Structure 1
Amino acid sequence: MPYVSGKTMIEDAWKNGYAIGAFTAHNLETIKAVLLAAEEEQAPIMIQIGQKAINEMGMQPLREAVDSLIAHHQISVPICIHLDHSRKFEQCMEAATRNFQSLMFDGSALPIEDNIRITRAVVEVANALGLGAEGEIGKIGGTEDDITVDEKDAMITTVAEALDFSEATGVDYLAVSIGTAHGVYKTTPELKFDRLSEIREAVKKPIVLHGGSGVPDDQIVEAIKRGVAKINVDTELRKSFLEAVQAHWAEQPEDWILADVMNDGIAAMKATVQQKIRLFGAAGKA
C-alpha cells in the first residue's frame, strides 16, 4: 500500500512551495473519487475521515474501504489517511492502531491548558509511531461534522497563541484561524495574510488551512506562498457530488440503477478534486 506519514508528506510540500489537498471522504464513492483524481494527477493526497462519517459508518469500515479501493484501482501515488477533528484522545489512539498516518486532536473548544495537555499526548504517540500530528489553536467558524462555531466566536489566532501552542505541544502542522470558515460562505472570505506570515515566521512549521471550500483561488495561491501546506476541502466536494446526482435524476427520474447514478457523482467530485490538486500545486508531485 502506498501509504506515507503525514509528517513526511506535509513537510515535503512545505519545503517545496505547494500544498497537500486533504479531501474528506464519507463513503465508498467519495473515497473512490479522491483516489482516482490523485492517481490521474500523479499527486500525493490526504484522505480525511471525519466525525460525521465515523458516527454514521464506523471508523473500521471506512479505513478498510480505503485499503480495498487502493488495491482494486491499483493506486500508486502517496496516500495519507488523516483522522480529522477528533475530540477524544481514545479515538486518536484507535486511529493509530488502525494504521492512520496522521492524527488531529481538536481541543480548540477546551480551556487552553487542556487543549495543550491532550494534544501533546497525541503528538507523543504519533512521534513514537512515525505518524503526523495536527493540532488547532483558535476557533474556525462554521459547522463541520455536527460541530458549530459561531462566526463571532471565530477569533483570528494571535502569533503568541500559535507559538506557545506549537512549542508546548510539538505538533507537526498547525491549524490556525486566519479568516476561513467551515461550510458555505455567506460573503467572500478575506484571509488575514499578514497574520499568516507572522505566524509562519514565529512557529517555523507548516500551517493548515481549514475551511478551504469557497476561498477564491488567488487567496489560496497566496496562502500557500505564505506557508500553508495542507488545505482541507469537504463542502465543495459534497456539493459537486450531490449536484451531479440531482442532475442525473432530473434527466432520468425513473433510473433506479444506483451505480449509474453514483458514477455521475463520482465523476463530478473527481473533477473537483483534480482542479484543487492543480490549484494547490501538487499535480505531478507524486
Structure 2
Amino acid sequence: MPLVTSKELFTKAYANKYAVGAFNVNNMEIIQGIVSAAKTENAPLILQVSAGARKYASPIYLRKLVEAAVEDSNLPIVLHLDHGESFDICKQCIDDGFTSVMIDASHHSFEENISITKKVVEYAHSKGVVVEAELGRLAGVEDDVQVSEKDAIYTNPEQAAEFVQKTGVDSLAIAIGTSHGAYKFKGEPNLDFERLQEIAKLLPNFPLVLHGASTVLPEFLELCNQYGGDIPGAQGVPEEMIRKATQFGVCKVNIDTDLRLAMTAAVRKELFADPKNFDPRKYLAPARTAIEEMVRHKIVNVLGSDNRI
C-alpha cells in the first residue's frame, strides 16, 4: 500500500465521530513504536514531521523510515508536514513525496493568511496532496512554534467559515484552548466547546484539527521526575475533553508531548537502573515499547472506538 492522503480517513472519521491520531516523529524508534501500536489495533495513522524534526533527522531519512513503516505494516499512513511556515517549505515537502502539508500562516493577518494558504492549496491540489491550515493561535512552545499567552487568539467561527470558503483548504486547525508543550493549563483545564460547536455548525461535514492535544499522562511525568527529571506542574488536556471534541467535527488530534514523555521516562528509568549501560539498543528498546503502549492507549481509549480500518 502506498502513502495515502487524509481525505478518505477524515470522511470516515467525521461520519463515525472519532479522530485519527497524528503523531510527531523524529527517529526510527518513535516511528516503530507508533506503527506497531497501530498495526496491533488495525488503525490508520498520520505521521507528521515538524520543523525541528526536519532539522534533526533530515526529511529524506524520515520519509524513507515512514515508507518502510508502510511496507512493514500495510496500514493507510499519511506523511504530513506539521506547521509549514511558508509556501516554499510546503512546496518542497510536496515535491519530496509528502501526501499532506500544513501551512501555518496564522501569525499573519486574516487576509494574508487566506492569500498564502490559497497559494499552497492550489499547488498541493495540482499534485494530489491535501492541505491543513490554521486560524487562531495556540499558546505554548513546540519546536520552532512559540506563542505567548497574550498572543494566543481563539478562532472566530464566522472567520473560519469564510477562510475555508475562500482558500479551498481540506482541514482546519482551530484554537479553542489547547496549547503546545507540557504546560497547557495553569489552573483548571478548560476548552471552549461552545466555540467548537459553532465552528462545526458553520462548517458541516468539514474536518477540524486539534493541535496541542497531548494529555501529559501522569505515569510518564512521575517516572521522568522519579529518575532525575525536573518537570513540575506539567498538565495536559484531559482525555474526556479530547473524546468530547471528536463529537463536534474534530477528525485529527495532534500528539507530540506524550511521545516525548513516554520515551524520556523509559530511557531515564533504564539508565538509572543500570548506570553501566552504554548500549543504545538496551535503553531505546524499552522506550520504543513505552511509546507503543501509550499510542495503543490513545487509539483505544481516547481517539474513538471506531478508529479502525
Number of positions where the alignment pairs a residue of Structure 1 with one of Structure 2: 284
Aligned to 2:211: 210
Cα RMSD, aligned residues only:
1.4
Aligned to 1:18: 18
Matches within 5 A, 1:79-98: 79-98=77-96
Displacement of 1:192 = 0.6
For the pair 1:38 / 2:38, whether they are aligned, the reply is yes
Given that residues 3 and 70 in structure 2 are in contact (C-alpha distance below 8 angstroms), is that contact kept between their aligned partners in structure 1?
no
- Gap regions ≥5 residues in structure 2: 216-236
Matches within 5 A, 1:1-286: 1-71=1-71, 74-184=72-182, 185=184, 186-204=186-204, 205-214=206-215, 215-278=237-300, 279-281=302-304, 285-286=308-309
Report the secondary structure of 1:4's partner residue: coil
Given that residues 90 and 101 in structure 2 are in contact (C-alpha distance below 8 angstroms), is that contact kept between their aligned partners in structure 1?
yes
TM normalised by structure 2 equals 0.88
For residues 134-172 of structure 1, the C-alpha deviation after alignment (integer angstroms, 9 at most, x for no partner) is 000010110111221011221211112211211111111
Aligned to 2:233: none
Given that residues 22 and 48 in structure 1 are in contact (C-alpha distance below 8 angstroms), is that contact kept between their aligned partners in structure 2?
yes
Aligned partner letter, 1:76: N
Cα distance in 1 for residues equivalent to 2:95 and 2:209: 24
Report the secondary structure of 1:212's partner residue: coil
Cα distance in 1 for residues equivalent to 2:285 and 2:187: 32
Report the secondary structure of 1:109's partner residue: coil
Given that residues 240 and 272 in structure 1 are in contact (C-alpha distance below 8 angstroms), is that contact kept between their aligned partners in structure 2?
yes
Cα distance in 2 for residues equivalent to 1:189 and 1:171: 30
Cα distance in 1 for residues equivalent to 2:188 and 2:23: 21
**Structure 1 pair 92–198 and aligned structure 2 pair: CA distance change class (3 A):** same
Aligned partner letter, 1:82: H
**Structure 1 pair 284–17 and aligned structure 2 pair: CA distance change class (3 A):** closer
Cα distance in 2 for residues equivalent to 1:208 and 1:40: 25
Given that residues 18 and 307 in structure 2 are in contact (C-alpha distance below 8 angstroms), is that contact kept between their aligned partners in structure 1?
no
Report the secondary structure of 1:143's partner residue: strand
Cα distance in 2 for residues equivalent to 1:281 and 1:128: 33
Report the secondary structure of 2:26's partner residue: coil
Displacement of 1:177 = 0.4
TM normalised by structure 1 equals 0.95
Displacement of 1:70 = 3.5
Report the secondary structure of 1:232's partner residue: strand
Cα distance in 2 for residues equivalent to 1:246 and 1:9: 36
Report the secondary structure of 1:8's partner residue: helix
- Gap regions ≥5 residues in structure 1: none
Which sits farther off after the overlay, 35-44 or 62-71?
A: 62-71
**Structure 1 pair 42–151 and aligned structure 2 pair: CA distance change class (3 A):** same
**Structure 1 pair 109–58 and aligned structure 2 pair: CA distance change class (3 A):** same
Which sits farther off after the overlay, 237-246 or 162-171?
A: 162-171
Displacement of 1:187 = 3.4
Cα distance in 2 for residues equivalent to 1:7 and 1:217: 25
Cα distance in 1 for residues equivalent to 2:306 and 2:249: 18
Cα distance in 2 for residues equivalent to 1:166 and 1:44: 25
Cα distance in 2 for residues equivalent to 1:121 and 1:59: 22
Cα distance in 1 for residues equivalent to 2:86 and 2:173: 17
Report the secondary structure of 2:40's partner residue: helix
Displacement of 1:284 = 5.8
Cα distance in 1 for residues equivalent to 2:17 and 2:125: 24
Cα distance in 2 for residues equivalent to 1:121 and 1:208: 21
